[in-house]
C-alpha cells in the first residue's frame, strides 16, 4: 500500500480586522478631516465685499423681496442689479444678527470641514485607501484656502465638487437626477460660479461616452442616465428669481473685466510666480494620469478645470477642490495607495501614521500663518473703523463722502440706510463711473477730477494707501515717485486731518471750520507720500522737528500705527526730535 503525499498547508490570509477596530479607524479619519477643516477656516474676516452682502441680506429680510436694483450708492442712480447671490446674503445676515462676526467665521469653519469630509469620500469611493484619501483632501483644501473668503464663492467650493461626485457616482434609478438638480439649483442662488457645474458635468459625460466608443462597448442605460443628468444640470439653474437671465451674469462679468477701466486682480491669468502651487498641482495631476489612468473623463475634466484656473486666478480654488475627482482613481491604481492586502499590517500602520502626520503638519502650518490672523472677528487692520469714527465724532459726514472702492462694502454695512457710498466693488453697478475715472486718470486730467468731485458735492474723502506713481513732466523730466493723494487731492484744496495704518481722511478746506484745520491738519506730512518725504527729510534738516511733531500726533490717535512708528524710527536715525 503506497502512502499518499502529505497535503501542503493552505495559504493563510491575514485576519480581517475586527469590526470595532475598523469603526475606530474610520472615526479617526473622519475626526481628523473635521478638525483639519475647522483649523483651515478659523481666521479673521478680511474680504471687502462682506459689508454690502450683509446689508443686502438685511434689506431683503426687511422688504421681503429680492434686490433688483442698487440702493447703496448715490452715484449709480439706482441701477438695475441681478443679485445672483441673494440667498448667501440672507444666510449671512441672519447669522450676523444672531451671533455677529463669530457666527460668520464658524459658518466658514463648518463649510470647510464639510468640504474635507466630501473630498475624503470622493477619494475612498474612487479606490484610495482612507488615510491616503484624507491626505489628498487635506493637500487640496490647504492649497485652496486663499479662496476661503467669507463670500458666496465659499459655498461654490463645496457644492461644485458635490455636484460632480453625485453625477460620477450616479445610479440608474428614476430619481437619481433629483439630488444633482437640487444641489445646482441651491448653488445658483448662492453664487453664480456654480454655473460651471453643468459645463464640467457635460465634459465628464463626454469623456464617459468617448471611453465607451474607444472600448466599443456602448452602455445604453449609462448613456441615457448621463444624458438626463446633463439636462438636469443645465435646466436646474433656471430655478432662481431671475430666470434665464442668470446665464447672462458670467458672460457679462467676463466681458466687463476685460475692459481696462475695471482692474480686478481676481480676473488676471496667473503665471507660475503668481500661483506656483497651481502649476505644481497640474504637473502632479498630469503624471498621475499618465501613469494611472487612460480614462478620457479624468483627462478632459482635469484639462477643463486647469484651463479655468489658468484663465482667471479666482478659479484656482475650483481646480483644487475638483482635483480628487479627477486623479483619485488614477492614484488608486498604485498598490501603495489603495486598500487591500498588498501591505503587511506593520507597513499598513506606517502608511496610516505617515498620512496622519502629514495632515497634522499642514494643519499646524495653516494655524501658524501670520495673515490673516486666526480669530473670530473682522481684521482690525483691514477696515477703516478708526478713520470712520474720527469723521463721525468731528461731524465730517454731513455731506457725500468720497470713498476708496476697497472701503465701500464696509461703509455700506455701517452707514446704510442713513448714508450711501460713492462706490464699492460691484463692478457691474459702477461700470460707467469706473470708466469715467479711468479716462480722467489716463489723461492726467486734474481739472476733470476736480470737476467730478464737485459734481458729486464731495467735501470729505476716505482713502486707502496706494503704491507710489512715477511722475514725469510733459517734456519727459522724471519727478520721482509720488503718492496718489498728493497728485489727485492737492493741498491747496484738500487737507489731511487723520491717518492710521488703514486709511487717511481728507477734507475740502472751504467746507470745514478753520479751528478744525488748525487743530487737526497734517501740514507737512502726507502718509501716502512717504517715499518722497523720506528723501526730503534727508536733504532738509529744518523740516524734521515739524514732521516729528505730526508723527507724535498720529501716534496719540493710534499708538500702534506701524507707519508712524517706522517714520519715528527713521527720524531718530537722522538725529531728529
pLDDT in tens, 478-493: 778 888 999 999 999 9
**What mean pLDDT do residues 336-343 have?**
72
pLDDT digits (tens, 9 = 90+) for 371-411: 889 999 999 889 999 999 999 999 999 899 999 999 999 99
pLDDT recorded at residue 1 = 44
Question: Using 50, 70 and 90 to split pLDDT, how confident is the model at 158?
Answer: very high
pLDDT recorded at residue 18 = 55
pLDDT recorded at residue 20 = 57
Kind and range of the H or E element at 529? Answer: none
Angle at which helices 19-41 and 130-144 cross, to 10°: 0
pLDDT digits (tens, 9 = 90+) for 268-326: 889 999 999 999 999 999 999 999 888 899 999 999 999 999 999 999 999 999 999 99
- Cα–Cα distance for residue pair 70/304, rounded to 1 Å: 35
**What mean pLDDT do residues 125-130 have?**
93
Flag the least confident range among 93-107, 171-185, 446-460: 171-185
- Cα–Cα distance for residue pair 474/15, rounded to 1 Å: 85
Question: What are the φ/ψ torsions at residue 215 (nearest 5 degrees)?
Answer: -80, -5
User: Which residues does 346 contact at the CB level (< 8 Å), separation at least 6?
Assistant: none
Tell me the three cell numbers of residue 153.
Answer: 464663492
Beta strands in 410-533 (DSSP E): 460-463, 469-472, 478-482, 494-499, 504-508
CB 194 within 8 A of CB 156: yes
**What mean pLDDT do residues 257-264 have?**
79
Q: For residue 514, give the 3-state DSSP assignment.
A: helix
Residue 496, beta-bridge partner list: 506
**What mean pLDDT do residues 78-100 have?**
96
Count other C-beta atoms under 10 Å from residue 364's C-beta. Answer: 10
**Mean pLDDT rounded to a whole number for the chain:** 90
What's the number of CA atoms in the CB half-sphere (13 Å) around residue 302?
Answer: 27
Q: Is the pTM here over 0.75, yes or no?
A: yes
Is residue 141 over pLDDT 70? yes
Question: What are the φ/ψ torsions at residue 203 (nearest 5 degrees)?
Answer: -65, -45
pLDDT recorded at residue 2 = 47
pLDDT recorded at residue 308 = 95
Angle at which helices 196-215 and 153-168 cross, to 10°: 20
pLDDT recorded at residue 370 = 79
Question: What are the φ/ψ torsions at residue 196 (nearest 5 degrees)?
Answer: -75, -15
pLDDT recorded at residue 517 = 95
pLDDT recorded at residue 471 = 83
Count other C-beta atoms under 10 Å from residue 393's C-beta. Answer: 9
Is residue 344 over pLDDT 80? no
Amino acid at each position: 500500500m503506497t502512502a499518499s503525499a502529505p497535503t501542503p498547508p493552505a495559504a493563510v490570509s491575514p485576519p480581517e480586522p475586527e469590526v470595532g477596530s475598523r469603526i475606530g479607524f474610520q472615526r479617526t479619519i473622519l475626526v481628523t478631516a473635521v478638525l483639519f477643516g475647522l483649523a483651515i477656516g478659523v481666521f479673521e474676516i478680511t474680504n471687502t465685499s462682506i459689508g454690502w452682502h450683509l446689508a443686502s441680506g438685511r434689506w431683503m429680510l426687511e422688504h421681503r423681496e429680492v434686490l433688483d436694483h442698487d440702493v447703496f450708492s448715490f452715484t449709480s442712480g439706482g441701477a438695475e442689479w441681478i443679485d445672483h447671490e441673494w440667498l448667501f446674503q440672507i444666510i449671512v445676515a441672519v447669522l450676523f444678527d444672531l451671533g455677529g462676526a463669530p457666527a460668520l467665521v464658524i459658518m466658514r469653519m463648518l463649510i470647510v470641514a464639510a468640504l474635507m469630509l466630501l473630498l475624503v469620500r470622493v477619494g475612498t469611493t474612487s479606490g484610495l485607501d482612507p488615510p491616503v484619501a484624507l491626505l489628498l483632501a487635506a493637500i487640496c483644501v490647504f492649497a485652496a484656502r486663499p479662496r476661503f473668503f467669507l463670500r458666496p464663492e465659499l459655498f461654490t467650493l463645496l457644492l461644485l465638487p458635490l455636484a460632480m461626485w453625485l453625477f460620477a457616482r450616479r445610479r440608474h434609478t428614476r430619481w437619481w437626477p433629483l439630488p444633482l438638480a437640487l444641489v445646482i439649483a441651491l448653488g445658483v442662488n448662492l453664487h453664480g460660479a456654480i454655473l460651471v457645474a453643468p459645463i464640467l458635468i457635460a465634459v465628464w459625460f463626454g469623456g464617459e461616452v468617448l471611453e465607451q466608443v474607444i472600448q466599443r462597448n456602448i452602455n445604453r442605460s449609462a448613456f441615457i442616465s448621463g444624458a438626463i443628468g446633463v439636462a438636469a444640470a443645465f435646466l436646474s439653474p433656471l430655478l432662481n428669481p431671475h430666470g434665464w437671465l442668470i446665464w447672462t451674469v458670467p458672460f457679462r462679468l467676463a466681458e466687463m473685466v476685460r475692459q481696462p477701466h475695471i482692474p480686478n486682480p481676481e480676473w488676471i491669468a496667473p503665471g507660475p510666480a503668481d500661483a506656483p502651487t497651481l502649476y505644481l498641482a497640474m504637473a502632479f495631476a498630469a503624471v498621475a494620469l499618465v501613469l494611472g489612468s487612460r480614462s478620457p473623463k479624468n483627462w478632459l475634466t482635469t484639462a477643463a478645470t486647469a484651463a479655468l484656473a489658468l484663465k482667471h486666478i479666482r478659479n484656482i480654488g475650483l481646480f483644487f477642490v475638483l482635483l480628487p475627482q479627477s486623479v483619485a482613481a488614477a492614484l488608486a491604481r498604485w498598490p501603495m495607495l489603495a486598500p487591500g492586502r498588498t501591505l503587511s499590517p506593520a507597513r499598513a500602520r506606517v502608511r496610516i501614521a505617515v498620512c496622519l502626520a502629514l495632515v497634522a503638519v499642514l494643519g499646524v502650518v495653516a494655524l501658524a500663518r501670520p495673515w490673516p490672523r486666526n480669530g473670530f472677528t473682522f481684521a482690525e487692520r483691514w477696515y477703516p473703523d478708526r478713520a470712520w469714527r474720527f469723521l463721525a465724532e468731528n461731524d465730517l459726514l454731513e455731506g457725500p463722502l468720497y470713498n476708496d472702492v476697497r472701503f465701500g462694502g464696509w461703509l455700506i454695512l455701517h452707514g446704510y440706510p442713513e448714508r450711501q457710498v460713492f462706490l464699492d466693488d460691484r463692478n457691474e453697478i459702477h461700470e460707467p463711473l469706473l470708466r469715467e475715472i479711468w479716462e480722467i486718470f489716463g489723461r492726467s486730467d486734474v481739472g476733470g477730477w476736480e470737476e467730478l468731485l464737485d459734481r458729486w458735492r464731495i467735501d470729505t474723502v476716505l482713502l486707502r494707501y496706494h503704491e507710489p506713481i512715477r511722475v514725469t513732466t510733459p517734456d519727459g523730466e522724471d519727478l520721482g515717485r509720488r503718492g496718489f493723494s498728493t497728485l489727485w487731492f492737492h493741498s491747496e484744496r484738500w487737507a489731511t486731518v487723520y491717518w492710521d495704518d488703514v486709511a487717511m481722511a481728507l477734507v475740502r478746506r472751504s467746507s470745514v471750520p478753520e479751528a478744525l484745520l488748525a487743530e487737526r491738519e497734517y501740514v507737512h506730512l502726507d502718509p501716502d507720500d512717504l517715499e518722497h518725504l523720506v528723501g526730503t527729510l534727508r536733504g532738509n534738516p529744518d523740516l524734521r522737528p515739524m514732521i516729528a511733531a505730526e508723527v507724535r500726533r498720529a501716534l496719540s490717535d493710534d499708538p500702534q500705527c506701524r507707519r508712524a512708528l517706522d517714520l519715528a524710527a527713521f527720524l531718530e536715525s537722522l538725529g531728529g526730535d
